[in-house]
Structure 1
Amino acid sequence: MVLNLDFLTSDDNPETNEVSTSSRDGELCLRFDVPSGNEFALPASGVREVMSVYFDRITPIPNASPFFLGTYNWRGQVIWVADLGQFLGDRVLVNTDQNEVSVLIVEEQELVMGFAVHTVANTEWLDIERVLPPDRQIPAAMKSYVKGVYSTGSDKPELRLLDQVAILRSSQWTI
């Protein structure tokens, strides 16, 4: 499974092939959940690819941080793949007994990393005006990685908008 965002071309210049991930209505975000069922979103501008990866293609690295599932050869570049839910403090781990796992390839400048998640839901324009500052109900381990909480206006739990830059640059990624 690969999510292709190429259909979201900018209206300002039809001759360019750039992806437009912001508008007056909000910011384009990728919604997903981790194995515990907690739902999150990442700005689509930082997500390079969404793919389904066979676990036997992820090479475990002995004595690495417990967050890491291993390394993966993504388009000729070796990148780390981590259990994003576990990194954020969830106690439910990605199920490594299944054949495949959904991986979000996230990039920020020179840093590229894969985040294993349970399910990728969809992309959605989030109205930035409805994003509230993180409240005290967010676990301490997760608080510095949450930009804000998006009020869905329904009976579903609020959606936590993550800061991919803070996650990628975290000091917790010790090998």
Structure 2
Amino acid sequence: MQINSSLTAIDLEPLGLEALPPERNLSKLLRFPLGSKNSALLPLEQVTEVIKVNRVDILPIPEMPNCILGICNWRGEMLWLIDLNHLISYAAPIIATPMAIVVQVNQKAVGLVVERVDDVELHDLEQLQKAVSGLFPRSVLPFVLGILPGDNLVLDVTAIIQSHLWKIHN
């Protein structure tokens, strides 16, 4: 039996295969509604967990800013709950069963209360642009890490936790 030598060589060029693009460093971000028409993203690496909060389990604290809903029990510890929409002056409906995005920076945990959590998305944070005034209300800017293409607002967890509210009331 003879093998045809012309069939032993394989040529991939006619397949039109192209090299894969270089791998990008994508980060996981958590998307949730912000206000009644917008949404925002938080870096997932700073999110400890997402919990459902029963309003009856929130202990209001007197003489606190309106954006601070109070405290609740979280893993046997006290967790401050902040109404994120109220903090950044976004009008939003009253939430019947709110969700708290528990974020942590330097061992300090805070629950950011939102209507719901939508999804985890992958984004290239190298494309993050500085937020400029005029695109968003002034009240949002101190808490913005930046903007991703498509007007994706990324919030700065550290700025939220280190807000002037905590310096006054902590």
Does the TM-score normalized on the shorter chain lie above 0.5? yes
1:123 corresponds to which of 104, 120, 123: 120
Secondary structure in structure 1 of the residue aligned to 2:118: strand
Secondary structure of the 2:73 match is: strand
Which residue does the alignment assign to 1:166? 159
Task: Report deviation, 1:74.
Answer: 0.3
Q: How does 1:20-169 map to 2 (within 5 A)?
A: 24-92=24-92, 95-96=94-95, 98=96, 100-136=97-133, 137-152=135-150, 158-169=151-162
Q: Distance in 2 between matches of 1:116 and 1:90?
A: 13
* In structure 1, C-alpha distance between the alignment counterparts of 2:60 and 2:115, rounded to whole Å: 19
- Give yes or no for contact 1:34–1:119 (8 Å, CA) kept in 2: no
Q: What's the TM-score, normalizing by structure 2?
A: 0.79
Task: Look up the SS of the partner of 1:144 in the other structure.
Answer: helix
User: Cα deviation per residue 1:38-72 (whole Å; 9 max; x = unaligned)?
Assistant: 21101001100011111111111122111111101
| Alpha-carbon separation, structure 1, partners of 2:154 and 2:100 | 18
Identity of aligned residues (%): 28
Segments of 4+ moved more than 4 angstroms = none
* Separation of aligned partners in 1, 2:98 and 2:37: 15
* Cα RMSD (Å): 1.7
Bigger-Rg structure (1/2):
2
Report deviation, 1:118.
Answer: 1.3
Matched residues in 1 for 2:35 and 2:126: separation? 29
In structure 2, stretches of 5+ residues that fail to align are 1-22
Higher share in strand:
1
Deviation at 1:24, TM superposition (A): 3.4
Q: How many residues align?
A: 145
- Letter matched to residue 103 of structure 2: V
Point out the more displaced range, 26-35 or 159-168.
26-35
